[in-house]
Amino acid sequence: MEQAMSTTIKVNGREHTVDVDPDTPLLWVLRDELRLTGTKYGCGIARCGACTVHLDGKPTRSCVLPVQSVSGREVTTIEGLGGREAKAVQNAWSGMDVPQCGYCQSGQVMSAVGLLSDNPEPTDADIDRAMDGNVCRCATYARIRAAIHQAAADMEG
């Protein structure tokens, strides 16, 4: 029997104490323990971005992040997303009908919000760098790119 250990993590501004093995990836704590289901499982090896959350404000893959390593840090999931960038991104996403199956889109939105928070006027090359780690098997990429530009324009306006 492995050692149980309770870990306290701060998610969306609230502290939660969970009793899981310390190597449990944050993704599965969010989902199976906290029932924050907007963050998705896609690959488990940080190669698809479906599990993207913000760790201290930066887009991070939660599927390979042991829960013990996020103690004392701020985790934001799509359920806790707020602010100007998030609003602009989600409005653009919805208004331009970016999603198809929609499964990857929480991760896409988290990456896009992370990008715009750092860089309110991203170029296509900036978008390439920020978004290439987020896979969409429906290949909604053209609309993702257009929606990020739209969100940037809306934030300016």
Partner 1 sequence: MAYADEKAFSPSRRRFLQGAGAAGAGLVIGFHWTLGLPRVFAASANGPEDFVPNAFVRIAPDDSVTVISKHIEFGQGTYTGLATILAEELDADWSSVRVESAPANAALYGNALLGGIQGTGGSTAIANSWEQLRQAGATARAMLVAAAAERWGVSAGELEVSSGTVSHAGSGRRASFGELAEAAATQPVPEKVALKDPSEFKLIGTRVGRVDSAEKSNGKAQFTLDIYLPDMLTAVLLRPPRFGATVKSYDDSAARKVRGVVDVVETPRGIAVLATGFWPAKKGRDSLEVEWDESKAEKRGSAALYAEYAELAKEPGLAAKRVGDADKALNEASQVVEAEYRFPFLAHAPMEPLDAVIRRRGEGYEIWAGSQIPTIDQGAAANALGVKPEQIAIHTLYAGGSFGRRATPTGDVVFEVASILKAHGGGRPIKLVWTREDDIQGGRYRPMYVHRLRGGLDADGKPLVWHQRIVGQSIMKELGAVPESGVDPSSVEGAENLPYAFDHLAVDLHNTEVGVPPLWWRSVGHTHTAYSTETFIDELAHAAGEDPVALRRRMLQDHPRHLGVLELAAKKAGWGEPVPEGRARGVAVHKSFGSYVAEIVEVSKGEEGLPKVHRVVCAVDCGVAVNPHNIAAQMESGIGFGLGAALYDEVVLEDGRPQQENFDTYLPTRLTDMPEVEVHIVDSAEAPTGVGEPGTPPIAPAVANAWFALTGERVRQLPFKRARENV
Q: Candidates 68-76, 115-123, 137-145, 149-157 — which segment interacts with partner 1 by CB under 8 A?
A: 137-145
Window 30-49: contact mask with partner 1 (x via CB under 8 A): -xxxxxxxxxxxxxxx-xx-
- Of residues 59, 99, 114, 122, which one binds partner 1 by CB under 8 A? 99
Between the alpha carbon of residue 107 and those of residues 7, 20, 23, 112, 115, the distances in Å are 25, 24, 22, 9, 12
Q: Where are the alpha helices (DSSP H) in 5-140?
A: 26-28, 84-95, 105-118, 124-131
Helix (H, G, I), strand (E, B) or coil at 10: strand
Query: Partners of 66 in the beta sheet?
Result: 25
75 binds partner 1 (CB under 8 A): no
The whole-angstrom distance between residue 85's C-alpha and the CA centroid of its chain comes to 13
User: Shortest distance, CB of residue 155 to partner 1, whole angstroms?
Assistant: 16
Residues 52-71 that bind partner 1 (CB under 8 A): none
- Of residues 6, 142, 156, 157, which one binds partner 1 by CB under 8 A? 142
The 10 Å CB-count burial string (b at 16+, else e) for 94-110 is eeeebbeeeebbbbbbb
Size of the site for partner 1 (CB under 8 A): 61
Contacts with partner 1 by CB under 8 A lie at 1-2, 4, 20-21, 24-25, 28, 31-45, 47-48, 50, 77-79, 81, 90, 93-95, 97-106, 109, 127-128, 131-132, 134-145
